[in-house]
């Protein structure tokens, strides 16, 4: 299932919430490497949760965050026009509200 992406390409929407997309200026090889690191870190979070290892869980979550920041999905925004960041906001409470309201069957 593909999620709707805002007209400016900055966010995709899941259950009405905006999530920042990966920086489109990243070279494909870099993006692929960072995505691989993110998936490895997510698996480490799952393993640490299952084992109850709080130290490993903290390290795995830090690795997830580092990968997401490097991808541009967290941390400083990757666009340069000074527009505000609405990451994790409900679409209906942002300037994207009318665009979102016009979608049929919004995920």
Structure tokens at 72: 């541009």
pLDDT of residue 1: 55
Instruction: State whether 68 and 32 are in the same domain.
Output: yes
33/23 Cα distance (integer angstroms): 14
43 part of a folded domain: yes
Each residue's pLDDT tens digit, 51-64: 999 999 999 999 99
- Give me the number of domains the chain comprises: 2
At residue 73, does pLDDT exceed 90? yes
Instruction: State whether 40 and 66 are in the same domain.
Output: yes
**Residue 105 backbone zone (phi > 0: left; psi -120 to 50: alpha; other: beta):** left
Crossing angle of helices 54-71 and 28-51, in 10° steps, is: 160
Query: What's the rounded mean pLDDT across residues 90-97?
Result: 97
Instruction: State whether 36 and 66 are in the same domain.
Output: yes
14/3 Cα distance (integer angstroms): 7
What is the band of 104 on the pLDDT scale with cuts at 50, 70, 90? confident
Domain residues for the domain of 2 are 1-21+85-107
């Amino acid at each position: 299932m593909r999620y709707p992406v805002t007209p400016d390409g900055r966010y995709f929407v899941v259950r009405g919430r905006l999530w920042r997309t990966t920086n489109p200026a990243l070279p494909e090889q870099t993006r692929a490497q960072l995505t691989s690191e993110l998936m490895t870190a997510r698996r480490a979070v799952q393993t640490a949760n299952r084992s109850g290892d709080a130290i490993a869980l903290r390290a795995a979550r830090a690795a997830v965050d580092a990968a997401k920041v490097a991808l541009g999905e967290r941390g400083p925004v990757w666009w340069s026009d000074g527009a505000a960041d609405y990451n994790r906001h409900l679409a209906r409470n942002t300037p994207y509200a009318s665009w979102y309201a016009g979608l049929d069957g919004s995920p």
